[in-house]
Amino acid sequence: MTTESSSAPRENLSVRVPPVSPGAIIGSSASLVLRHARDDDADAIIALVSEVWSEYPGKTLIAATDMPELLKPASAYARAGGRFWVVEANDQIIGTIALMPSAENGVVELQKLYVARSMRKNGLGTFLCHLVEREARERGAHAVDLWSDVKLSDAHRRYERLGYRRGDALKTYNDTSSTVRLYYRKELDADHPAAFGGAAAADAPDRWQALFHLAAEGSAAQGVANP
């Protein structure tokens, strides 16, 4: 599963959110940990993205040119008022997701959704999407946007099941893979703001929520640092 960002992280001076401590743990259970990214996670994150991309013909990642924000993920997203989360299993990163403020008022962008092949089909990807939506609501956003490679039909079906609606826009990127991405948006107004995954949340994502001891309400950004 993968969702790629529409661009490198960008400044959005209208967003004012409390900083988080890099690496701060949000929840854990046995060998599983949900936490904020650190800059020294870069190699592991790049390896995961490269592994996922290798499943698709013609997809090659050269991080320095294609996604330079991955070279210092915590710093890059913090500087732009975003968030970057990772999930570890036995100290190995097996899932990532990020949130970036949009240039459009009241909208955030879901980015960097990658799940290792061995951890798919168990609700982790859906749980991570809900994590972004929860943070979006806490920021007062009314919608979440994402851009996804046209090749990733399985991911598109998942987003549509979660309420994301495909738009007409396409973006072509001058990256190593000449990527073309589809645009999706989810309006958050219809979802119950107190529910972690909304009324239609599946049992599997709810199990991840319970596993990491996340309440139905409250911040998705535990580990807030003192300004």
DSSP characters over 49-110: HHHHHTTSTT----HHHH-GGGGSHHHHHHHTT-EEEEEEETTEEEEEEEEEE-SSTTEEEE
Residue 224 lies in a domain: no
Residue 158 lies in a domain: yes
Q: What is the pLDDT of residues 180-202, one digit of tens each?
A: 999 999 999 754 544 454 444 45
Computed over every residue of the chain, the mean pLDDT equals 85
Domain carrying residue 200: 2-211
Instruction: Quote the number of domains for the chain.
Output: 1
Q: Tell me the CATH number at 174.
A: 3.40.630.30
Percentage of the chain modeled with pLDDT above 90: 63
Residue 190 lies in a domain: yes
Greater model confidence, 71 or 197:
71
Q: What pLDDT score was predicted for residue 224?
A: 54
Percentage of the chain modeled with pLDDT above 70: 82
Residue 216 in this model has a pLDDT that exceeds 70: no
- What is the model's pTM? 0.85
Q: What pLDDT score was predicted for residue 225?
A: 53
Residue 216 lies in a domain: no
Confidence of residue 17 (pLDDT cuts 50, 70, 90): confident
Q: What pLDDT score was predicted for residue 150?
A: 84
